[in-house]
């Protein structure tokens, strides 16, 4: 089961209290205070790992509590610190703070409006981590308060409470190429042909209900990652069909391959399909619509009206976009499409590296 958004509650451990103690050896009169400090509470840290690819575990385990620090003891013994709690999430997870854990009811209809989420971290690399709840400091024992004028202090400190937060985890897949198009445009068939991904394939709309990732391997050890995004329809940016739930998974891609069904089986016009999806991407996020596009006229093996292909090609050429004729079933034209995608991926990676270098300069 693919889950890409969850709400969780985290609580760091509280600090242990300081000890109230005095030396009481038989031959050491007025030995003085020797109460040790309490240990610090454990913190909560979220860390990205490639070993996970969904947030489903958090659906059934939304509460996380780090261990508290132990209390101080006599003989100036400091309490043991609580262990930090590491929470592993998939690479590509965004961590938002939505408020203190008990500020509002997370199930209330207006919960989101009551506490606007604040982005804490975007975990895009293996091992990247973010501290989301800091453990409480341990309290001081009475030995800390001894002075020349107060040699037998009875003062101690309680441990500080650990931080508590309510968080929202949102996963955005990390892929170089995103496949977009209407339902049954042939995206699942194509990703199954070009990679080891095995999505469900059928001849009814919304067969694909979750994104699929596949690794495409070309000659000379070249490879890139492709994401098959569930079919979009008119109004997807506003929640129609599968809505904008999965559109965010193409935000990180370098290039988009727009598959258009040119056969008559869909009963729709390919030019209309093409324009509708482009508009949905623009309404969702203009930055996504501005990404490099490659248009692939799919199902040419089932083409029964050549004018459908010709009109689509004319429209795409008008926009000066790359255009390829392919068949995901027979493999015709797929090799040229992948080479074109690779060139865009290389150019995009170089641009990203140059941008990072300029930012760090």
Q: What is the pLDDT of residues 34-90, one digit of tens each?
A: 999 999 999 999 999 988 878 888 988 999 999 999 999 999 999 999 999 999 998
pLDDT digits 0-9 by tens, 200-242: 555 544 445 567 788 899 998 888 888 887 766 555 544 544 5
- Indicate the domain borders of the chain: 5-171, 177-360
Mean per-residue pLDDT, 116-129: 91
Asked whether the predicted pLDDT for residue 113 surpasses 70, the reply is no
For the whole model, what pTM was predicted? 0.72
Tell me what pLDDT residue 351 has.
82
- In the CATH hierarchy, which fold is given to the domain comprising 177-360? Rossmann fold (3.40.50)
* Domain at 5-171: CATH code: 2.70.210.12
Tell me what pLDDT residue 2 has.
63
Tell me what pLDDT residue 235 has.
55
Mean per-residue pLDDT, 132-155: 93
Residue 100 CA to residue 80 CA, distance in Å, equals 27
How many other CB atoms sit within 10 Å of the CB of residue 13?
29
Same fold, 5-171 and 177-360: no
| DSSP one-letter string for 216-244 | EEETTTEEEEEEEPPPP-TTGGGT-TTGG
Q: What pLDDT band is residue 165 in, cutting at 50, 70 and 90?
A: very high
pLDDT digits 0-9 by tens, 329-359: 999 999 999 999 999 999 988 887 777 677 7
Task: Pick the more confident residue, 116 or 268.
Answer: 268
316-350: buried (b, 16+ CB within 10 Å) or exposed (e) per residue? beeeeebbbbbbbeeeebbeebbebbbebbeebee
What own/partner pairs with CB < 8 Å and gap ≥ 24 does 329-332 have?
329/186, 329/189, 329/299, 329/301, 330/301, 331/193, 332/300, 332/301
């Amino acid at each position: 089961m693919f889950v890409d958004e969850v709400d969780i509650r985290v609580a760091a451990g509280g600090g242990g209290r300081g000890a109230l103690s005095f030396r009481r050896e038989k031959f050491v009169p007025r030995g003085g205070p020797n109460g040790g400090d309490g240990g610090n509470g454990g913190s909560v840290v979220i860390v990205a790992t490639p070993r996970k690819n969904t947030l489903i575990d958090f659906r059934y385990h939304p509460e996380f509590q780090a261990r508290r620090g132990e209390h101080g003891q006599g003989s100036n013994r400091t309490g043991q610190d609580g262990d930090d709690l590491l929470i592993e999430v998939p690479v590509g997870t965004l961590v938002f703070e939505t408020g203190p854990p008990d500020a509002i009811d997370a199930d209330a209809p207006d919960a989101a409006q009551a506490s606007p989420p604040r982005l804490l971290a975007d975990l895009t690399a293996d091992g990247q981590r973010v501290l989301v709840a800091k453990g409480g400091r341990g309290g001081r024992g009475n030995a800390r308060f001894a002075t020349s004028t107060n040699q037998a202090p009875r003062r101690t400190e309680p441990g500080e409470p650990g931080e508590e937060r309510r968080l929202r985890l949102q996963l955005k897949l990390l892929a170089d190429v995103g496949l977009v198009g209407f339902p049954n445009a042939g995206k699942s068939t194509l990703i199954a042909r070009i990679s080891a991904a095995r999505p469900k394939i059928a001849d009814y709309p919304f067969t694909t209900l979750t994104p699929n990732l596949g690794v495409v391997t070309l000659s000379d050890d070249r490879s890139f990652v492709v994401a098959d995004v569930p079919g979009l329809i008119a109004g997807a940016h506003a929640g129609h069909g599968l809505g904008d739930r999965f559109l965010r998974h193409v935000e990180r891609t370098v290039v988009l391959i727009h598959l258009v069904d040119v056969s008559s089986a869909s009963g729709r016009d390919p030019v209309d399909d093409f324009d509708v999806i482009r508009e949905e991407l623009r309404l969702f996020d203009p930055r996504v619509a501005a990404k490099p596009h490659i248009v692939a006229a799919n199902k040419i093996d089932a083409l029964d009206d050549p004018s459908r292909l010709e009109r689509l090609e004319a429209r795409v050429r008008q926009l000066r976009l790359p255009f390829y004729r392919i068949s995901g079933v027979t493999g015709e034209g797929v090799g040229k499409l992948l080479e074109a995608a690779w060139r865009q991926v290389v150019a995009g990676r170089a641009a990203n590296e140059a941008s990072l270098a300029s930012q760090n300069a």
